[in-house]
Amino acid sequence: MIDFLCIGAQKCGTTLLYQQLKTIDKIYMPNTKEIHFFDNSQHYCQGKKYYLKNFDGATVEQLKGEITPAYLFIEHVPLRIKQFLNGKDIKFIVLLRNPVDRAYSHYQMMTKIQKKEMLNFEQALIYESFRLKEHHDIINFTYIKRGFYAKQILNYFKYFKKEQFIFIIYEDFVNNQVEYINKIVSFLGLDQRVNIESKKIFENHYEKMNQSTRAILYQIYQHDINILENILDMDLSSWKEK
């Protein structure tokens, strides 16, 4: 059985986390970063044996885990995980990023890397609700919706205890990789300090967001950030600065 899951969020440093955890001997990560088992019904219906084959290379001593950022966002995932575990307790790692910056990074990925987005950023934000209603495309174009972290986290708290989660802010993690990897290692129950080299994150160089668009997004997310501060008991004041 698995020991931990990193459930997201998308564009919040999960690739960097995967690369760092892969270097730790006592942790086993599958060769594929994103397995998409719990969010993809075609995978999920193939059952437990199908999923656990991803960890065939693990030794008895190693902790087993995987990273799929969609797990935080897709609503039915926590119930599936709960049913799959059948009473076993595991740990959850959650990386969170300023939702305004996350939305813009998501948009840049869709335009420059995946090349699925033809609209400019402002148009994409305006048409997001239409795309969700008419095309049900929650995977590609949910720039705004994915940033409402409070609702997504509370959905997990219906099924799991808060003590099973560690929440890490992307901006802190990127700048202090050694410190936060060791926090994660300790949270997972490994009694050791690991020596890692900080890695440079993949960066797309793109134009700055329009300031008026940024101000509108801050207004959109303000209430959710306030709720998130309360449920996680974290200071997210830096996310409120325009």
pLDDT digits (tens, 9 = 90+) for 41-73: 999 999 999 999 999 999 999 999 999 999 999
Cβ-proximal residues to 79 (8 Å cutoff; 6+ apart), any chain: 159
Q: Which of 107, 149, 99, 102 is nearest to 126 (CA)?
A: 107
Determine the Cα–Cα distance for residues 99 and 102; give it in Å rounded to an integer: 5
- DSSP, residue by residue, 35-52: ---SS-HHHHTTHHHHHH
What is the distance between the alpha carbons of residues 180 and 95, in angstroms, rounded to a whole number? 11
Q: What's the pLDDT score for residue 199?
A: 83
Which fold does the domain 4-202+209-240 belong to in CATH? Answer: Rossmann fold (3.40.50)
Cα–Cα separations (whole angstroms), residue 156 to 71, 79, 80, 98: 10, 8, 11, 20
Report the run of H or E that residue 19 belongs to, with start and end: helix 14-21
**21-56 burial string, b = 16+ CB within 10 Å, else e?**
beebeebbbbeebbbbbbbeeeebeeeeeebeebbe
Q: Which residues of the chain have pLDDT under 70?
A: 135, 202-204, 242
pLDDT at residue 202 in the model:
63
Percent of the chain with pLDDT over 90: 83
Q: Which two tokens stand for residue 194?
A: 């690991």
pLDDT for res 107: 95
